[in-house]
Structure 1
Amino acid sequence: MTQLVRKLFSLNLSVMRLFGFYPTKNYKNIYRVYAYTVYIFFVVPTPILTSLYLLFGENVDLALVAQNAFSIGETGCFVFKLLQFIRNSDKIRRCIYMVESPIFTNYVKTQEQIMDDCVHVCTRNSNFFQFFCILTAASWAAVPLFGKEYRLPLDIWLPYDVTRGGLPYILSYIFLVSGVSIDSVLNGAIDPLIGGLLYYAATQIKILKNNLENITKYAEEQLLSEMKGEDNYEKIIELKSKIVYQRLKFCVKLHKTILNFVEEYEGTFTSMVFVQFSASVVVICISCLQLIIVEPFTMSFFSMVIFINAVLMEILFYCYYGTILFEESFSLTTSAYMSEWYEYSLKSKRGLIIFMERCKKPIIVTSGKILDLSLDTFTTILRRSYSLLAVLKNY
């Protein structure tokens, strides 16, 4: 990891590399074999065994379905997400390291605070969400420990009976908890990473807006450093106009690079985010149904409350930062107008007008080319979950 990537996503990439889902360049094939091993033996079995239990188990009622269906939806969604990280590791790495494009790191000292705020937000989200995911897994795994019977955290199909306790129960419990814990830890690394890349794009828009609003100011600072001792007024005016035009060209190039970055981001993560949104409708609904069924203020109740909050936070990362990116890009024309454009040369004025016309179209990131990453989509997911919950409560 290079310096900026390390600052932004050190925890995320370290966790992913620990389980083989972010391979190094030197040992790519070894990491891929390791990632597939973790994937096949720990990630895939949980939703499959739980589904088999619901299909072939006896006395399966709505309460039992609600108790297990939310985990099928969440872990099943994660099966798809992790497979993309294995198969498209090079594409994901390329998208992540676009944050260190030379033009992205070319900002003046007064803009360093904007980037520092971005680093703070990304690291804060990663640390907090990772802690919340670990807390969710721990509370879920602790539920059977407060009961009098030998039960696993999830009802899964097994060719032997674990209700008698002993070594079969212990090994099955360790296997199930290990698989879900790996899912949780990886989930705590991946979702803030994907949301953080969106916020980084929004941060670059903020830097672009600052450049647009202060083109004249930064041009004069550059002029002072290049024209020390020069007293020819005409040469000074000519050079200033040239510097202003060059800085305007830089803004156009920066905007184009941001658009390329967002396009690369959408092409890399759009299918993952769409699957997450689709699964979240069912997961939130079933989780709320389970919350109604379980006895209040028990360990199962608190575990479900923590889980629901984790799912809501998970999809909020995408929707909230997608909205920020949209709003920042939408106000680009305002920032361009706030500059001292009336002092520009005719050539610069024409260039600014063309640039403002291009900026009239805000940046909208989609999931699956269907849903926008916005707070409107977040509320839509909640409404669909509630509608489904209202239907299930009647049965």
Structure 2
Amino acid sequence: MDIVIKTLPNLALIPYNTSKAIIFYIQRKKIVKLLEALIENWKLSQVKTNYKSELKKFQFLNKFYIITYVLIMTLPTITSVYEYICKQQRKEMIEVWFPWDSKNNDLGFFIGMAFIYWSGSNVCFIIVSADFYIFSTITVLSILFDALKNDIKAAVNAKNVKKLKIAIERHQKLILISDNLEKIFSFIFIYSFLNAAFALGFSGFELAAAKTLHEYSLCVPFMIGALAQIYFYCYYGEKLLIASVSVANGIFESNWDDLHDSKVRKLLILVIQRSQKAKKLNVLGFSELTLDTFTKISTSAYSYYTLLKDIYYE
């Protein structure tokens, strides 16, 4: 039972990692079209928001995300070396069968450790790379919604009907891009949520049962990594939601009542109605990428933890 609990969360990363790579490969043409649509919309933006501050925030959060995955692989390795040097004990990161003696042979032990670190790092690299693309796409999409709000406001105040019509067309395109983003990655969203909740439950149980420094180094970074992944998905989903709603605020803050063109006024009302329906990224219709969902998944993970604890101690 101990081996299953300690090994299963790590083994669960393999199909998760593979599924991400497969989805990106299968959807590669749609992903390219998505990028082209974002670039086209960016070029049409008239008023540039302070996107540099958003990019700095994005870079800072991504650095933190990278650090969590580096810790997942590095801390257990450091403690394994520490156990070997100070206590003459050979403790591997996970229970793995090797065609050589890694338990009683020093060379075999370090070769095994190097293999685990190398393979685990590759898994983490693919996971982080896929997540970075999704996070960056949502960030750019959010920036474009913010820019659109300012573009509409400026066009209305200047009574520039031509620019206003272009901005309204861009709004429709941004909604379409958001829908396509959801269709392409909805499976990754739900798989990430399930995998994170699963990992949190098992690593939480390992943390409760941990007694040595090495055992703590195995479960704590893993738990932080799972929490970070699910939080980042929900954070960026919430960011897109807020940005999409803010488009209507740009209209309300402008002098749209002064427009005499009835057709344009009707179009603005349509934009307001669309914006009031916040653009939420759905997870195959089961849930949404919001911070409220993060709270619910954290609660579910705790339920998994208590269930495992009850089963283990019966």
Superposition TM-score, scaled by structure 1 size: 0.71
Tell me which of 244, 247, 253 is aligned to 1:329. 244
2:175 alignment partner, one of 259, 262, 268: 259
Name 2:199's counterpart in structure 1.
283
Greater RCO, CA 8 A, separation 6+: 2
**Which is higher, the Rg of structure 1 or of structure 2?**
1
Letter in 2 for 1:136: I
Q: Equivalent residue for 2:56?
A: 120
Quote the RMSD (CA, aligned, Å): 2.2
1:261 maps to amino acid: I
Equivalent residue for 2:282, pick from 355, 366, 371: 366
> 1:84/1:353 Cα in 2 relative to 1: closer, same or farther (>3 Å)?
closer
Q: Which runs of 5+ in 2 are unaligned?
A: none
Amino acid at match of 1:374: T
Q: CA–CA distance in 2 between the matches of 1:99 and 1:305?
A: 38
Q: Indicate conservation of the 8 Å contact 1:287/1:304, yes or no.
A: yes
Q: How many residues align?
A: 306
Residue 274 of structure 1: aligned partner: 190
Change (3 A) 1:317 1:145: same
Q: What secondary structure does 2:310 align onto?
A: coil
Residue type of the partner of 2:241? F
Query: Are residue 107 (structure 1) and residue 45 (structure 2) matched?
Result: yes
Corresponding position of 1:249: 165
Cα separation, partners in 2 of 1:333 and 1:86, compared to 1, 3 Å: closer
Selected match of 1:80 from 19, 33, 44: 19
Q: 2:71 aligns with which of 135, 143, 154?
A: 135
How far apart are residue 387 of structure 1 and its match?
Answer: 0.9
Alignment partners' CA distance in 2, 1:94 and 1:142: 44
- Any conservation in 1 of the 2:20–2:127 contact (CA below 8 Å)? no
- Report if aligned partners of 2:200, 2:226 keep a CA contact under 8 Å in 1: yes
1:246-270 Cα offsets, whole Å, 9 max, x none, are 1221221111111121122112211
Distance change >3 Å, CA 388–CA 338, structure 1 → 2: same
1:157-209 alpha-carbon deviations (Å, 9 max, x no partner): 34443212144433332222111011123333322321221122111111111
Secondary structure, counterpart of 1:364 in structure 2: coil
Q: What's the counterpart of residue 386 of structure 1? A: 302
1:93 corresponds, among 15, 32, 36, to 32
- Cα distance change on mapping 1:319 and 1:338 into 2, 3 Å: same
Confirm or deny that 1:338 pairs with 2:246: no
Instruction: Check conservation: 1:274, 1:368, Cα contact below 8 A.
Output: yes
Structure 1: which 5+ runs fail to align?
1-60, 220-239
Partner SS for 1:369: coil
1:32-54 Cα deviation digits (max 9, x unpaired) = xxxxxxxxxxxxxxxxxxxxxxx
Correspondence for 2:272 among 340, 353, 356: 356
Give the CA deviation at 1:343.
1.2
* 1:213–1:335 Cα contact (<8 Å) kept: yes
The one-character-per-residue Cα deviations of 1:288-344 (angstroms, maximum 9, x if unpaired) are: 100011116x14314422221121111111111111211222343333122101211
Query: Is the counterpart of residue 203 in structure 1 residue 143 in structure 2?
Result: yes
Equivalent in the alignment of 2:220: 305
Q: Do the aligned partners of 2:168 and 2:267 also contact (CA within 8 Å) in 1? A: no
Task: After superposing the two structures, state which structure 1 stretch, 372-381 or 180-189, moved more.
Answer: 180-189
Structure 1 counterpart of 2:9, from 63, 67, 70: 70
CA contact (8 A) 1:329 1:359 kept: yes
TM-score, normalising length: structure 2: 0.88
